[in-house]
Amino acid sequence: MQRVMTQQVLILGGQGRIGRHVAADLVTHTNAKVTVTGRSQRSKPTLALGSQVQSLELDLDDRDKLTAAIHALQTDDRQQRNVVVHCAGPFHHRDGRVLEACIAAGVNYVDVSDHPSYTRTAIAYREAAAAAGITAIVNTGIFPGISNSMVRQSIEQLDTADAVHLSYVVAGSGGAGVTVMRTTFLGLQRPFQAWLKGRWQMVKPYSDREVVEFPSPYGRVGVYWFDVPEAFTIPSAFPVKTVITKFGTVPDFYNFLTWSVARWWHPRLLKTRAVIEFLSYVSHFMTDVTDRFSGIGVAIRVEVDGQKDGNPAKSYATLVHKNTAIAAGYGTGSVTELLLAGKLDKPGVWAIEEALSTALFTQAMQSRGVTIEQSLHMAKS
């Protein structure tokens, strides 16, 4: 009788809130053995998710231990597609050590990265990953992640696409930890480039407030420019002339506070670690209070302008979920599931919208009970 090997997933930063939700998704949808790591050994995630999950103490600064943990996933069995999932954010200052180790070990790679600097670092390994025969997918959470696949889905509704308007709103903390707060304030450090009318233009973070209509229960919410990887991965993947990426929170006074920091605080302060930590922990404390009435959900709205049957048209897609962190777990977990099953096999390093087909994305979301509303509006003649 042929021996059936148990597939394995190593989740770096798996004891954080996002990492735990990724592990929970994998326990629900796969039979893989899941190892979650953290800087200290904790039993809570393991006990909560059952015997399929175990924990490992691992600091990414310990390169020898990191390399050993990834190389332990090596296998000569082509049917066994083990995966490393990188959830150890914030990604602003992460280097390519995890991806390098995956390439050296021949192990597939997934991450929840959400900052352009890290995405560019990862994509630079595309040829090396392709030569090693591994598939590496970046930006796989909720935004970026599910949001990017919604953009692809909407673009495919049209014959040609000219402009993408991508908006997000998160209620309170979104059910995530302090790391997400750090990501928000680190994203205010400097102006960034946006693809507008066919050329790169500099915009200021948390500027140009725009009120967008999201599905219930959010309604009209103010959103602001925010530096995210999809600002450059979407125009790289699709021949569009404009990509607008805006983010907002509820309650709205959090928008005002973040806008005030971006507008009035000296840039040097926002590059100081102690200041970022102070803002992050204060914000997290505040959301612990307001989450009780605002909830911790997320809404995404995609609007694509283009042409259909020779006429101007708009394609829309929206998503609402009551827990942002769980939704992020769905995004990353579904990509990992597809890699384990061999349904997603594209050697190299890719943004999620470049690698995941709409058919596979739709199936993965349906299996998780996620509803994406779509509509196509033709211009009146």
CA gap 327, 221 in Å, rounded: 20
Alpha-carbon distance values, 357 to 125, 170, 332 (Å): 22, 26, 15
* CA atoms within 13 Å, Cβ hemisphere of 205: 22
pLDDT in tens, the chain (381 residues): 333 458 999 999 999 889 999 999 999 999 999 999 988 765 455 556 788 999 999 999 999 999 999 999 987 666 678 999 999 988 988 999 999 999 999 999 999 999 999 999 999 999 999 999 999 999 999 999 999 999 999 999 999 999 999 999 999 877 776 777 777 777 777 899 999 999 999 999 999 999 999 999 999 999 999 999 999 999 999 999 999 999 999 988 888 888 888 788 877 877 888 887 887 787 877 888 888 888 999 999 999 999 999 999 999 999 999 999 999 999 999 999 999 999 999 999 999 999 999 999 999 999 999 999 999 999 765
φ/ψ of residue 309, rounded to 5: 55, 35
Domains parsed from the chain with CATH numbers: 8-141+325-367 (3.40.50.720), 146-324 (3.30.360.10)
What's this model's pTM, rounded to 2 decimal places? 0.92
**Whole-angstrom Cα distance, residue 186 to residue 207?**
15
